[in-house]
C-alpha cells in the first residue's frame, strides 16, 4: 500500500492482474503485519515481565528461589500482570526512530539526499503514505547495487512493520484520552439526565405493554414515580410469554453472560507462557493489543 506510482500497469490484462493480485496480496500483507504485531508485543511483554519480576525480587516481594511455572499462581503481584501500553509505546517509538535514523544515513550516502529529506522519506514510506516525490533505487546504476537494494528492502519491511505496531499502540492511547475527555464533559448538572438515569437504574420489573405506555409518560422535569409498583401489573393479571421476554430482554442477556462466565471461570487471567494466537478476543490489531496490554496504567 505504498503506492509510489513509479511503475504502473499499461495494458488491460496487467490492470486486471493487478486487481486480482492486489486483493489477495494486500490481505496477506495485513495478516503478516498482524502476526508481526503479535510477536513483537509478546516479546516486549515477556521482557518487561521479566524486568518486573526482577524488580519485585530486589524489593523482597518475591522469594529468591522463585521460578516461573505453577508457583506463579500463588504470587498475587504477578497474576494477570500486563505491561503498560505507555511503556510499549515508548519502546516502539525509540526503535522506530533508531531504524529511521539508520535508514536515513544509508539514503543520504547512496541517493545523495540531505539528512532531513531522508528522514522525511523514511516516514512517508514507513507509514505507507507514499507521495512519490522521493523514491529510492531509481537510478540505473549504484555502487554495490545488489547489497543496496537488499538493505533498502529490509529497511522498508522492518520500518513498515514497526510503524504499523506503533500506530496501533498510539490508537489505544488516543482511545483512552477520548474516554477521559468524555468523562470530564459528562453532563452531571442536568436534572433530566439524572431523572432518566434514575429510571433506568430501577430494579427490573415485569412491565408488559411498556412500549405502549412509554408514549404516554410525560418527560417533564417534575415527573416522579409515586410508588415502587407503578407501571407494573397486579399479581392477578395474566401476561403473555412474548411480553415477558420483551420486557426482560436485557436482564436475560445479562443472566446468560453471568452463567457463561461462571461456567468458564471468571475472571480469566492471561498468562504470557500460554500459547495463544492473539485473535481469541476478536479480530485485528486492536484485539491483539487489548489481549497483550493493559487498558489503563493508573496503578503503575
Q: pLDDT for 245-284, tens place per residue?
A: 666 665 666 666 666 666 665 554 444 444 444 444 455 6
pLDDT of 132 over the 60 cut: yes
pLDDT value of position 267: 52
- Domains of the chain, by residue range, sit at 12-59+84-187
pTM > 0.85: no
Handedness of CA 103, 107, 108, 114 (dihedral sign): negative
pLDDT of 71 over the 60 cut: no
Model confidence pLDDT, tens digit, residues 16-35:
999 999 999 999 999 999 99
Locate 280 and state its grid cell: 481469541
pLDDT value of position 218: 46
pLDDT value of position 202: 47
Domain 12-59+84-187, classified CATH 3.40.50.150, yes or no: no
What gap in Å lies between CA 297 and CA 300, rounded to an integer?
Answer: 5
Instruction: Choose between 176 and 205: higher pLDDT.
Output: 176
Q: Where are the alpha helices (DSSP H) in 142-248?
A: 145-184, 191-200, 210-214, 241-247
Residue 89: Cβ within 10 Å count: 18
Contact 284, 164 (CB under 8 A): no
Model confidence pLDDT, tens digit, residues 103-129:
999 999 999 999 999 999 999 999 999
Contact 119, 98 (CB under 8 A): no
Model confidence pLDDT, tens digit, residues 136-167:
999 988 989 999 999 999 999 999 999 999 99
Summarize the confidence of residues 286-291 as an average pLDDT: 72
Amino acid at each position: 500500500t505504498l503506492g509510489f506510482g513509479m511503475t504502473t500497469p499499461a495494458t488491460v490484462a496487467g490492470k486486471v492482474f493487478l486487481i486480482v493480485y492486489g486483493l489477495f496480496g494486500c490481505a496477506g500483507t495485513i495478516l503478516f503485519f498482524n502476526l508481526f504485531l503479535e510477536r513483537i508485543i509478546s516479546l516486549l511483554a515477556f521482557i518487561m515481565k521479566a524486568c518486573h519480576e526482577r524488580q519485585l525480587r530486589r524489593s523482597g516481594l518475591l522469594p529468591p528461589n522463585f521460578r516461573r511455572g505453577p508457583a506463579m499462581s500463588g504470587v498475587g503481584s504477578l497474576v494477570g500482570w500486563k505491561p503498560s501500553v505507555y511503556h510499549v509505546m515508548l519502546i516502539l517509538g525509540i526503535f522506530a526512530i533508531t531504524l529511521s535514523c539508520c535508514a536515513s544515513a544509508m539514503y543520504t550516502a547512496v541517493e545523495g539526499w540531505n539528512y532531513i529529506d531522508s528522514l522525511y522519506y523514511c516516514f512517508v514510506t514507513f507509514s505507507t503514505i507514499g507521495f512519490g516525490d522521493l523514491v529510492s533505487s531509481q537510478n540505473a546504476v549504484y555502487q554495490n547495487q545488489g547489497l543496496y537494494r537488499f538493505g533498502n528492502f529490509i529497511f522498508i519491511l522492518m520500518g513498515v512493520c514497526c510503524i504499523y505496531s506503533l500506530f496501533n499502540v498510539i490508537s489505544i492511547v488516543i482511545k483512552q484520552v477520548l474516554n477521559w475527555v468524555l468523562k470530564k464533559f459528562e453532563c452531571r448538572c442536568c436534572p433530566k439526565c439524572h431523572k432518566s438515569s434514575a429510571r433506568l437504574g430501577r430494579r427490573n420489573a415485569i412491565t408488559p405493554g411498556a412500549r405502549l405506555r412509554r408514549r404516554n409518560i410525560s418527560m417533564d422535569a417534575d415527573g416522579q414515580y409515586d410508588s415502587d409498583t407503578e407501571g407494573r401489573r397486579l399479581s392477578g393479571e395474566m401476561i403473555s410469554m412474548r411480553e415477558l421476554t420483551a420486557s426482560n430482554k436485557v436482564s436475560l442477556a445479562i443472566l446468560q453472560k453471568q452463567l457463561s462466565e461462571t461456567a468458564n471461570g471468571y475472571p480469566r487471567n492471561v498468562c504470557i507462557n500460554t500459547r495463544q494466537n492473539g485473535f481469541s478476543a476478536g479480530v485485528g490489531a486492536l484485539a491483539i493489543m487489548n489481549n497483550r496490554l493493559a487498558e489503563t496504567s493508573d496503578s503503575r
